[in-house]
A and B are shown apart, each in its own frame.
Chain A
Amino acid sequence: EVQILETGGGLVKPGGSLRLSCATSGFNFNDYFMNWVRQAPGKGLEWVAQIRNKNYNYATYYAESLEGRVTISRDDSKSSVYLQVSSLRAEDTAIYYCTRLGLWVPTFDYWGQGVMVTVSS
């Protein structure tokens, strides 16, 4: 069974930083591109970042709205992916979901339960 579990959320002051972790199991992590998608309270979904697998040299891609403030990384030995977000702003307040991109169809086929990040003084 595919399992995705995010940790690391919490309350952060504006200008602060946070590192989110995503532990996975139940599938061959090395094969997949992993993503972070966020959802502000009561709002829609916004893709944040993607990291590809070793075959694609772990290439990373970011939403323009966060470029320069966010870094995605992965540790294949731990089947885990991470998101470092810096210079946090109130508008970064959201649930951050770790998602798997399907192998054959570019859908977000599995999602974690999400982790809440609140940016407030």
Chain B
Amino acid sequence: DTVLTQSPALAVSLGQRVTISCKASESVSSSSFSYIHWYQQKPGQQPKLLIYHASNLESGVPARFSGSGSGTDFTLNIDPVEADDIATYFCQQSWNDPYTFGAGTKLELK
């Protein structure tokens, strides 16, 4: 299975830029697309799709979220971080079966 590795937690200050990383154990990119997607999960809620194909913002997601990367290394950026963004962020790959998720990065306030 494709393993996605994320840092467990990041401490952030409101208003700053934060970068969350996701590293895949093998390439999850084709010549056209990267099959990495990002989800936000707040406590007690279901995950919510933020970004698909590494860099495409899902409809309704604020423009302070952005994503990049290809091959095995991907990042989710939030700039600037707002209070509403304090949550856990998961990356997920859909290039290889079975689809797998990273363990999640929990954003915490400094």
Contact = CB atoms under 8 A, between A and B. Distances in A.
Classify chain A's interface size.
10 to 19
B46 A45 contact: no
B98 A63 contact: yes
Given A63-B98, A106-B35, A45 B49 contact: no
B52 A105 contact: yes
Contact of A107 (B37, B97, B98, B103): B37
Given A44-B90, A45-B90, A45-B92, A108 B47 contact: yes
Interface in B44-76: 45-49, 52-53, 56, 58
B98 A47 contact: yes
Contacts of B100: 47
A40 B56 CA distance: 29
Contacts of B58: 109
A14 interface: no
A107 B102 CA distance: 14
B52 A107 contact: yes
